[in-house]
Structure 1
Amino acid sequence: MDLTEKNVIEHLSELRKRIIITLSFFLLSLLASFIFVKDIHDFLVKDLHDKLAILGPGDILWIYMAIAGFSAITLTIPVAALQIWLFVKPGLKKEEQRVTLAFIPGIFILFLSGIAFGYFVLFPIVLSFLQSLAGDQFETFFTVDKYFRFMINLTLPFGFLFEMPAVVMFLTRLGIINPQRLAKTRKVSYFVLIIISVFITPPDFISDILVIIPLLLLYEFSITLSKIVYRKKISLEQTMLQSNEKTA
């Protein structure tokens, strides 16, 4: 076995270890979330005036699993981020290790912010708008399956989409991307974000606008953060280069 094959096997073994740890934590979180799933369910439906209906005995089990899975994903985000950092850590310099490690709390906070935006801001507006379309012509009747599918599809994607600034800063710090490249691909990125917005929202113009605007602002905010990180990275590299020249 040559050195290259040995390195590949070691990297795959390390990756397997990180994946197992992440999945194990997810399963533990899923179990813990399922224990408190009724409390979580009661919180999510506290603003509803009527009880949700079920059309079959399997509906309630499905929704409890969906709620528990939603909670488990949220709890696993910082652990998954830490495992990714531990996987790439050997290839980073000490200063890069310290800086990139600091992104992990930010990733979790941004994920929670995205969930909060989807649930507390977007979800009530879209739900109210769709109910107003029914007016007095239709009897509003929510099933537990339809209601929670709609809620999860409208909130969970925002948890991941709000990670954009942290991911951009992380990749900028590693030198994979830079603000100039982000600015050049602005039009393409806008198009992709608009497609994503249309895909994850209900088929109405108001919902699309409510999603598109925050995502475009997030992209511009990410470019600004990338510029700050890039300037600091260049400044640090120049300082280290000057220090090495004086030492030599």
Structure 2
Amino acid sequence: MANRNEQSVFGHLEEMRGRIIRTLIAFLVSMTASFIYVRDIYHWLVRGMDKQLVVLGPSDVMWVYLMISAVVATAVTIPVAAYQVWRFVQPAVPKEAQRATLIFIPSLTVLFLIGIAFGYFVLFPMVLHFMNQIAEKDFTTMYTAEKYFTFMIHMTVPFGLLFEMPAVVMFLTKLGIVNPARLAKARKLAYFLLVIIAVTITPPDILSDLVVIVPLILLYEISITISRVVYRKQVKASVDST
């Protein structure tokens, strides 16, 4: 029995390694492809600026292009990674729930892009404008390309990940890891953490805080609702089968 268990563990580890390797290959291929068009992406991202960004050394240009390519590759790789995760846990998902669980894969991509768009079109310009207002009377602003894009990524990529909350909760509910009762019980703690995140990354004014806090809280409530619907269907299916 011990040998069988060890073989099972090693088999799972081998399968996990293979799926991680496939995901990494997809990321590297996507990053290579996006790097080919990175200059076009760069010019689109800085289209609204009235002056060119500054680089302090030859390597800065390559570093900026690699950062941009990595973000694009991450967005492209998310459905691949989600599919690999789904295939890995598929044996633990009841057959009647497997088709519904597949919604998890495209949902992650769509929600990530919505979160990125929220960060880029709403949060990033708002924070950048606030910073410029603070600096304009006492400083001459001159942004380096590395600092500018690092700041942009910090304002966008975390929201791409946070906006995936409903899809992740749906998937975890399908697996029985979370349920609506647990999520509702953790509501106060979740609100507290989301408020801290919002206040930390936004300018110190109530309007900016609300612009970020409200969507994050709505996402959590949507996640609870989705979990409740999925959980009820699971309970109903188990009752019907008995």
TM interval, shorter chain, is: over 0.9
Q: Cα distance, 1:202 vs. partner? A: 5.3
| 1:174 matched residue in structure 2 | 175
Deviations 1:40-81 (A, max 9, x none): 101100111111111111111110011011111111000000
- Equivalent pair of 1:30/1:71 in contact (CA under 8 Å): yes
Q: Cα distance, 1:103 vs. partner? A: 1.4
| 2:165 matched residue in structure 1 | 164
Instruction: Please show how residues 1-248 of structure 1 align to structure 2 within 5 Å.
Output: 2-199=3-200, 201=201, 204-205=204-205, 207-241=208-242
- Equivalent pair of 1:162/1:218 in contact (CA under 8 Å): yes
Query: 3-state DSSP class of the match of 1:2?
Result: helix
Q: C-alpha distance in 2, partners of 1:17/1:197?
A: 37
Q: C-alpha distance in 1, partners of 2:187/2:131?
A: 32
Q: Cα distance, 1:214 vs. partner? A: 1.7
Give 2:4's aligned amino acid: L
Give 1:176's aligned amino acid: I
Q: C-alpha distance in 1, partners of 2:57/2:202?
A: 25
- Equivalent pair of 2:127/2:203 in contact (CA under 8 Å): no
- Equivalent pair of 1:96/1:174 in contact (CA under 8 Å): no
Query: 3-state DSSP class of the match of 2:101?
Result: helix
Question: What's the RMSD between the two structures over aligned residues?
Answer: 1.6
Query: 3-state DSSP class of the match of 1:52?
Result: coil
| Uncovered stretches (5+) of structure 2, i.e. residues with no partner | none
Give 1:39's aligned amino acid: D
More divergent stretch after superposition (227-236 vs 164-173): 227-236
- Equivalent pair of 1:29/1:72 in contact (CA under 8 Å): yes
Q: C-alpha distance in 2, partners of 1:105/1:130?
A: 36
More divergent stretch after superposition (212-221 vs 45-54): 212-221
Q: C-alpha distance in 2, partners of 1:159/1:203?
A: 20
Give 1:154's aligned amino acid: M
Give 1:215's aligned amino acid: L
Q: Cα distance, 1:208 vs. partner? A: 4.2
Q: C-alpha distance in 2, partners of 1:97/1:12?
A: 22
Q: C-alpha distance in 2, partners of 1:5/1:205?
A: 57
Deviations 1:187-224 (A, max 9, x none): 1112222333345x156345544332221121111111
Question: Percent same amino acid at aligned positions?
Answer: 55
Q: Cα distance, 1:181 vs. partner? A: 1.0
Q: Runs in 1 of length 4+ with deviation above 6 angstroms?
A: none
Deviations 1:117-151 (A, max 9, x none): 00011111111122122234332211111110110
- Equivalent pair of 2:92/2:175 in contact (CA under 8 Å): no
- Equivalent pair of 2:130/2:203 in contact (CA under 8 Å): no
| Uncovered stretches (5+) of structure 1, i.e. residues with no partner | 242-248
Query: 3-state DSSP class of the match of 2:183?
Result: helix
Give 2:36's aligned amino acid: I
Q: TM-score, normalised by structure 2?
A: 0.93
Give 2:7's aligned amino acid: K
